[in-house]
């Protein structure tokens, strides 16, 4: 029973003669998943998000860059400005996410590797987390920015000078007299491209292996 269940999850194997006749058909899904894995691994070393703060007292503006595991740029200066309006330090945001970010992406790469060996619809469950990662990253970022902007310290020196706000995670917005300009980093762009590649991989995966799954079911029924 356990072996039968495992066989259903793994899916039918491709016979050598079928592989010889339709190697490209069966190779495309695995190749696309390989491309997606490479894109995700490269994204680990690149910034995922940028924010520029246009401040009158800073001629060159202030810049913040977020990687999956750390922040760089003018973090201290931005925190200093945020302190006066009662906003918490940026280093307090997404601590768990930054701590596990690299390991999470590596886990997603491993899941994509396993998906390339699955010839059934169960492969979708292994691909879906990685495909949704860019959207999940932006959603998590939005929730943190909203939480910080909507929960200002009422005892801060300039707390009465600004209303609660939600800084945009993409595009421009105003926070008091300051303008924020947020944009996706190269890492997030690569991860998004990887998601598109994964969707294409699932399409070709279904086209390649669904006939084999149906044939296997018919053989069992017979």
Structure tokens at 95: 């601590």
Q: Is the pTM of this model over 0.85?
A: yes
Structure tokens at 113: 């590797």
Q: Look at 217 and 149; give whichever has higher pLDDT.
A: 149
Q: Give 13-57 pLDDT, tens digit per residue.
A: 666 655 556 667 788 999 999 999 999 999 999 999 999 999 888
Query: Which pLDDT value is given to residue 161?
Result: 78
Structure tokens at 165: 């706000």
Give the H/E segment covering residue 221: helix 186-221
Q: Give 77-120 pLDDT, tens digit per residue.
A: 999 988 888 999 999 999 999 999 999 999 999 999 999 988 88
Between the alpha carbon of residue 186 and those of residues 72, 95, 107, 119, 193, the distances in Å are 15, 22, 21, 32, 11
Give domain limits for the chain. Answer: 28-209
Answer yes or no: is pLDDT of 124 > 80: yes
Query: Which pLDDT value is given to residue 16?
Result: 62
Query: Which pLDDT value is given to residue 150?
Result: 92
Kindly report the CA angle at 79 between 90 and 189, in degrees rounded to 5? 45
Q: Look at 60 and 217; give whichever has higher pLDDT.
A: 60
Least reliable range by pLDDT among 133-142, 160-169, 207-216: 207-216
Answer yes or no: is pLDDT of 217 > 50: yes
Query: Which pLDDT value is given to residue 2?
Result: 45
Query: Which pLDDT value is given to residue 19?
Result: 57
Confidence of residue 1 (pLDDT cuts 50, 70, 90): very low
List residues bridging with 179 in a β-sheet: 54, 174
Cα–Cα distance for residue pair 131/105, rounded to 1 Å: 11
Q: Give 149-202 pLDDT, tens digit per residue.
A: 999 988 888 777 788 888 899 999 988 788 999 999 999 999 999 999 999 999
Contacts 24+ apart (CB under 8 A), 150-153: 151/88, 152/85, 152/86, 152/87, 153/86, 153/87, 153/88
């Amino acid at each position: 029973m356990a072996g039968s269940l495992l066989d259903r999850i793994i899916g039918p194997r491709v016979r050598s003669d079928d592989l010889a006749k339709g190697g490209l058909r069966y190779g495309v899904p695995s190749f696309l998943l390989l491309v997606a894995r490479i894109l995700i691994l490269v994204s680990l070393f690149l910034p995922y998000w940028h924010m520029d703060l246009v401040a009158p007292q800073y001629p060159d503006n202030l810049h913040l860059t977020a990687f999956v595991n750390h922040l760089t740029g003018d973090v201290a200066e931005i925190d200093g400005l945020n302190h006066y309006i009662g906003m918490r330090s940026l280093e307090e945001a997404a601590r768990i996410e930054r701590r596990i970010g690299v390991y999470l992406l590596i886990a997603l790469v491993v899941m994509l590797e396993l998906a390339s060996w699955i010839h059934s619809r169960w492969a979708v469950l292994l691909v879906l987390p990685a495909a949704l990662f860019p959207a999940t990253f932006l959603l998590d970022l939005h929730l943190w920015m909203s939480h910080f902007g909507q929960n200002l310290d009422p005892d801060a020196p300039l707390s009465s000078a600004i209303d609660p706000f939600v800084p945009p995670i993409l595009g421009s917005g105003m926070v008091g007299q300051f303008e924020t300009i947020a944009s996706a980093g190269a890492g997030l762009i690569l991860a998004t491209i990887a998601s598109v590649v994964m969707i294409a991989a699932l399409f070709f995966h279904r086209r390649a292996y669904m006939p084999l799954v149906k044939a296997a079911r018919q053989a069992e029924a017979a």
